[in-house]
Amino acid sequence: MAWPFFAAIIGALLGLKRTCPKCGREQIVPGSQKHLAVRCKFCGEDIPPRRR
């Protein structure tokens, strides 16, 4: 099962990938939470939505 691999690619294409400001690790945000702050699954820090 290569789900994490595909998730990373799809997430990058959709702009759903975020980098945690605290620990610097990348993770995919569900589309439903695209405009919301999400909690880093590695360190628990809140990651704000990307601003443009």
Nearer to Zn ion, 14 or 43 (CB): 43
Chain centroid, CA 37 distance in Å: 10
Residue 24 falls in which region: left (phi positive, over 0), alpha (psi -120 to 50) or beta: left
Quick note: the x/- pattern for Zn ion over 3-42, rule CB under 5 A, is -----------------x-xx----------------x-x
Nearer to Zn ion, 20 or 38 (CB): 20
Q: What is the DSSP letter of 46?
A: E
Which residues form the interface with Zn ion (CB under 5 A)?
Answer: 20, 22-23, 40, 42-43, 45
